[in-house]
């Protein structure tokens, strides 16, 4: 049906300078708005097309959502079928302008309200729908999926109970995606925390994140407001010396000198007190260079710090901090009640319990509670000591005991031992020291200090106390702790010139937020978290690509559909465009490829192409119960500049050019494994390694290996010579073809062989070099006279080098040791393959490219990486792999390559959720094992 101009103008795209109407906020729409015509600007949260004439669209503004309906209505403002069809194809997260009439929903029988939106009692009958900002490419996951995902609520909860007790050396985050309280339904989207971190902007749009960081804002605001009587200061984050241990600071060059990122504003807070400011506070960044991949540590976090004069004793500081924290708790649970309840859908944690009078327990008394309960540290099987800091496990256990005794999640441990405090902490008064010695005797184990820790839900959130203000005492403490005075001269001046008694505390904003709300990971409490794995080093830049005409940055036109090519010789199939519109795959491999990409030249591979850039992702087809399964091999997709991963993630997450295909596994580099795991939630393990040789202009010394040298000398003594060809005579080609047939026959007799590629030595010869070991042909019936020409010699080994990207150099595509006519028909010639490989390596070294790869080979064991777990299932899988590796001698290649100087670089088997089940494993084996 033809649309009128008015109908066509009711939908489509609009420019940024459009004439907009006054807009309404979703939070202000209610039953009082029924029959009103309104305008809103919002994101599309999710779309559900019930039929060609009925589409539901949920619109979102931060925390607020409302349902919109598109369906034919009586004229004159009825949406047309074209409009409904167009709207149903919009991507989630698109920003749209909506003109609509507020109406009561037509609920099904028994329904009382609209579920799944924040506005329950009304909906929008859409009159006009215009796109203001389109989503350029599908998002890694939708905000709708993130908010209903079981991932955040359950993932990693068990890991909190599995730490090793060491606050600074745990590695629980590495396996976080494999830990969950329950197995989410296959129908429920699973968005791992790694994915939420990698695609941070999408996660920050979610209701969970919006609620989290509104509460975070409230905490810092209350902190400032409550301390308004103190002076707010800004301290520098570049320091000339370390305020605590030098091992946990970031060093950097500062105009030819060494500087440090501030571990805390501690030094400057104390200097401000020495300058007679009485009391100061700050909200600012803190840096800790601790390689702690845990759920409780960040390398950069926000510190809530205060410092103040002490007039009687350090408990004045404790009372101030205590009152600030209680004010924060009160504000969070009253003013941010809605946000707290939103978070409970993802993190079902009971409200924090605190008492009007906070329990203050001496550290030694807390340790005694643990001892009396019979608790011992799982790692040492020993009870805790009163002169050592608490481990994380001990903290949590003590928190449980205090909750049972006092019914509170919030308490203070006082009088910490000197061994557990920084150098500038003031020792406890003689009176307090003697009182503790009388109570605990020798078990006290040394001096205690005028310091305290405050705990929430069994974990420490702040350390505070009195500082040393006497200059001589401070200098002695620095010497005792091996703290150099160099770079701290300005700090020491304040004490040299007289400083008043003072104390303070520092609270980690993110840790406080995490513990109050019961978040499962501190990264969920930071908008842009920084940990030891942040800021990965970018891949080595590609310089001087070999085929500028195949530069994927230039694009091939936006009108081209997703193309699929089969092998090197075929054109593009199932594509509206001719194959010439895409750069040839061999050229892409030479520009951007690694070893596994050369497998795409086999006939059994299909290649998906990005319609915008021509970038490629290769797939192999297997068949499982008459359903086509797609197995993908791609260390990195073939595109500029890193290589990029946009095509891979887009294809695997959303593209369905061949509906029967389903990705079941993928062979990936560490870079792509990280992208797939973090953005798409894929699992991974490794039992494969890429064998690389760094030549750096010379052949590695490993070739001086006695066994390799002996074999090469043996080959030379038998008259074997290695020739190098970019092109060769037809006669020699035929000879090599005959030798390959013999080689294949020998392989066939040995049974199934694991392989990722076919033996097609002449394919893409433009990008290949051939190194042929030739042995003298002997006359029949005896030693006879050796002939001198190439045609009078027989190939006994063949090495084929394939040109890869400038980043990766060359691949030993084939290294074939042929049966020898010099000894027996089935025994390779001693030293022939070593001679050919050595010549090839010298050739690569002479080019200065610096890198040679042998391709992938099996490693000695299967290692879970991400999302696989660590239980019995993994152990069974590992034992099964070891049995297969032993039976099929999978490790032989790797051992031989090590002798040739190669070092292993892990390659990962990645698979989507549900991708590598029983049928998937069968498809992998069918793919890799060539049966006789």
Residues 6+ apart with CB under 8 A from 187: none
Residues in the chain: 932
Residues 6+ apart with CB under 8 A from 924: 631, 664, 665, 916
Instruction: Convert 62-87 into a string of H (helix), E (strand) and C (coil).
Output: CCEEEEEEECCCCCCCCCCHHHHHHH
* Count of domains for the chain: 5
Give the integer Cα–Cα distance in Å for 380 and 261.
35
Q: Is residue 507 part of a domain?
A: yes
| Model pLDDT, residue 23 | 92
Alpha helical stretches, state H, 357-429: 363-372, 392-406
Residues 6+ apart with CB under 8 A from 436: 362, 364, 415, 428, 444, 448
Give SS3 for 871.
Answer: coil
Q: What are the tokens at 663?
A: 């990705």
Both 283 and 193 in one domain: the answer is no
Both 744 and 764 in one domain: the answer is yes
Of 682, 707, 736, the one marking the end of a domain is 682
Both 469 and 373 in one domain: the answer is yes
CATH of the domain at 382: 3.30.930.10
Q: Is residue 654 part of a domain?
A: yes
Of 133, 167, 188, the one marking the end of a domain is 133
Give the integer Cα–Cα distance in Å for 882 and 509.
47
Q: Is residue 416 part of a domain?
A: yes
Both 577 and 438 in one domain: the answer is no
Both 260 and 392 in one domain: the answer is yes
Helix (H) or strand (E) holding 281: strand 279-287
Chain segment 587-627, per-residue pLDDT in tens? 888 888 888 888 888 877 777 776 666 666 665 544 333 33
Helix (H) or strand (E) holding 881: helix 872-887
Both 448 and 321 in one domain: the answer is yes
Give the integer Cα–Cα distance in Å for 607 and 610.
10
Chain segment 756-808, per-residue pLDDT in tens? 557 888 888 889 999 998 988 765 554 544 455 555 788 999 999 999 888 88
CATH of the domain at 83: 2.40.50.140
Of 105, 133, 161, the one marking the end of a domain is 133
Both 570 and 507 in one domain: the answer is no
CB 875 within 8 A of CB 660: no
Spans of the chain, pLDDT less than 70: 1, 76, 149-190, 242-247, 537-544, 553-581, 610-662, 678-679, 696-706, 750-757, 778-791, 820-829, 848-850, 867-878, 884-896, 899, 914-932
Both 480 and 506 in one domain: the answer is yes
Under DSSP, the state recorded for 159 is G
Give SS3 for 686.
Answer: strand
Give SS3 for 703.
Answer: helix
Q: Is residue 544 part of a domain?
A: no
Q: Is residue 542 part of a domain?
A: no
Give the integer Cα–Cα distance in Å for 451 and 460.
13
| Model pLDDT, residue 414 | 96
| Model pLDDT, residue 26 | 96
Give the integer Cα–Cα distance in Å for 272 and 233.
9
Both 403 and 434 in one domain: the answer is yes
Residues 6+ apart with CB under 8 A from 90: 44, 47, 57, 96, 131
Which of 13, 18, 10, 105 lies closest to 66, judged by CA?
A: 105
Sheet with 231-232: strands ordered across: 231-232, 279-287, 300-309, 502-508, 459-466, 451-456, 410-414, 360-362
Domain that holds residue 36: 5-133
User: What are the C-alpha distances in Å from 553 to residues 539, 803, 804?
Assistant: 17, 21, 18
| Model pLDDT, residue 167 | 46
| Model pLDDT, residue 63 | 94
CA 682 to chain centre: 11
User: What are the C-alpha distances in Å from 135 to residues 96, 142, 148, 191, 284?
Assistant: 11, 12, 21, 20, 35
Chain segment 6-50, per-residue pLDDT in tens? 889 999 998 877 777 889 999 999 999 999 999 999 999 999 999
| Model pLDDT, residue 829 | 61
Q: Is residue 342 part of a domain?
A: yes
Q: Is residue 553 part of a domain?
A: no
Both 182 and 255 in one domain: the answer is no
Q: Is residue 549 part of a domain?
A: no
Both 723 and 859 in one domain: the answer is yes
Both 22 and 86 in one domain: the answer is yes
């Amino acid at each position: 049906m033809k649309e009128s101009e008015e109908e066509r103008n009711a939908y489509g795209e609009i420019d940024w300078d459009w004439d907009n109407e006054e807009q309404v906020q979703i939070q202000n729409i209610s039953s009082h708005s029924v029959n009103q015509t309104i305008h809103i600007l919002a994101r599309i949260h999710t779309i559900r097309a019930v039929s060609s004439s009925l589409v539901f669209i949920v619109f979102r503004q931060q925390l607020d959502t409302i349902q919109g309906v598109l369906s034919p209505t009586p004229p004159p403002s009825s949406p047309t079928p074209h409009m409904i069809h167009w709207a149903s194809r919009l991507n989630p997260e698109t920003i749209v302008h909506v003109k609509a009439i507020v109406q009561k929903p037509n609920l099904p029988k028994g329904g009382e309200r609209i579920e799944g939106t924040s506005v329950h009692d009304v909906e929008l009958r859409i009159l006009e729908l215009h796109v203001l900002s389109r989503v350029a490419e599908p998002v890694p996951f939708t905000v709708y999926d993130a908010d209903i995902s079981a991932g955040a609520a359950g993932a990693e909860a068990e890991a909190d109970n599995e730490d090793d007790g060491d606050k600074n050396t745990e590695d629980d985050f590495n396996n976080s995606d494999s830990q969950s309280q329950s197995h989410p339904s296959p129908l429920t989207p699973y968005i791992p925390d790694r994915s939420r971190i990698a695609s941070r902007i999408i996660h920050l749009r979610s209701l969970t994140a919006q609620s989290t960081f509104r509460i975070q804002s409230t905490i810092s605001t209350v902190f400032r407001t409550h301390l308004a009587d103190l002076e707010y200061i800004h301290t520098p984050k570049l320091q000339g010396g370390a305020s605590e241990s030098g091992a946990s600071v970031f060093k950097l060059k500062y105009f030819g000198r060494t500087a440090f990122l501030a571990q805390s504003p501690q030094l400057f807070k104390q200097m401000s007190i020495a300058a007679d400011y009485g009391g100061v506070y700050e909200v600012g960044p803190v840096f800790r260079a601790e390689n702690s991949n845990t759920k409780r540590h960040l390398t950069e976090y926000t510190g809530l710090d205060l410092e103040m004069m002490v007039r009687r004793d350090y408990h004045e500081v404790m009372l101030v901090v205590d009152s600030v924290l209680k004010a924060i708790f009160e504000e969070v649970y009253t003013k941010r009640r809605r946000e707290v309840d939103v978070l409970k859908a993802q993190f079902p944690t009971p409200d924090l319990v605190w008492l009007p009078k906070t329990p203050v327990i001496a550290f030694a008394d807390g340790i005694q509670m643990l001892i009396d309960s019979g608790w011992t540290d799982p790692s040492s099987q020993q009870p805790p000591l009163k002169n050592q800091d608490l481990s994380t496990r001990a903290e949590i256990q003590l928190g449980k005991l205090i909750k049972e005794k006092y019914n509170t999640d919030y308490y203070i441990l006082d009088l910490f031992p000197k061994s557990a405090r920084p150098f500038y902490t003031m020792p406890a008064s003689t009176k307090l020291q003697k009182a503790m010695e009388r109570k605990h005797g020798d078990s006290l184990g040394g001096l205690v200090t005028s310091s305290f820790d405050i705990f929430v839900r069994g974990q420490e959130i702040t350390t505070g106390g009195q500082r040393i203000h006497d200059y001589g005492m401070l200098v002695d403490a620095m010497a005792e702790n091996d703290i150099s005075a160099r770079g701290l001269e300005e700090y020491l001046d304040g004490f040299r010139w007289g400083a008043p008694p003072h104390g303070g505390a520092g609270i980690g904003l993110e840790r406080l937020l995490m513990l109050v709300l019961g978040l499962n990971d501190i990264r969920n409490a930071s908008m842009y978290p920084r940990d030891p794995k942040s800021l990965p080093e970018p891949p080595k830049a590609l310089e001087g690509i070999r085929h500028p005409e195949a530069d994927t940055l230039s694009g091939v036109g936006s009108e081209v559909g997703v193309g699929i090519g089969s092998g090197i010789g075929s054109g593009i199939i199932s594509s509206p465009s001719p194959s010439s519109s895409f750069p040839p795959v061999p050229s892409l491999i030479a520009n951007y490829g690694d070893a596994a990409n050369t497998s795409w030249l086999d006939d059994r591979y299909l290649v998906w192409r990005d319609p915008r850039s021509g970038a490629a992702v290769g797939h192999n087809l297997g068949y499982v119960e008459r359903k086509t399964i797609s197995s993908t091999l791609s260390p990195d997709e073939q595109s500029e500049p890193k290589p990029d991963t946009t095509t891979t993630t887009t294809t695997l997450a959303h593209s369905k050019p061949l509906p029967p295909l389903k990705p079941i596994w993928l062979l990936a580099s560490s870079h792509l494994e990280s992208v797939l795991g973090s953005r798409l939630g894929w699992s991974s393990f490794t039992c494969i390694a890429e064998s690389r040789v760094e030549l750096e202009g010379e052949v590695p010394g490993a070739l001086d290996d006695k066994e390799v040298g002996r074999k090469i000398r043996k080959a030379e003594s038998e008259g074997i010579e290695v020739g190098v060809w970019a092109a060769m005579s037809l006669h020699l080609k035929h000879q090599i073809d005959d030798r390959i047939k013999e080689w294949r026959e020998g392989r066939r007799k040995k049974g199934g062989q694991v392989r990722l590629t076919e033996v097609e030595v002449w394919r893409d010869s433009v990008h290949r070099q051939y190194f042929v070991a030739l042995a003298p042909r002997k006359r029949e019936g005896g030693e006879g006279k050796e002939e001198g020409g190439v045609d009078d010699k027989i190939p006994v080994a063949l090495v084929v080098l394939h040109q890869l990207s400038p980043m990766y150099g060359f691949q030993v595509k084939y290294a074939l040791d042929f049966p020898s006519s010099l000894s027996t028909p089935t025994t390779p010639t001693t030293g022939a393959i070593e001679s050919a490989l050595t010549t090839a390596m010298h050739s690569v070294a002479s080019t200065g490219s610096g890198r040679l790869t042998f391709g992938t080979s099996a490693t000695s064991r299967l290692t879970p990486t991400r999302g696989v777990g660590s239980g019995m299932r993994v152990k069974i899988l590992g034992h099964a792999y070891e049995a297969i590796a032993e039976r099929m001698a999978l490790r032989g290649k790797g051992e031989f390559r090590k002798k040739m100087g190669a070092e292993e670089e892990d390659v990962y088997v990645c698979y989507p959720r549900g991708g590598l089940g029983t049928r998937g494993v069968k498809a992998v084996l069918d793919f890799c094992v060539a049966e006789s």
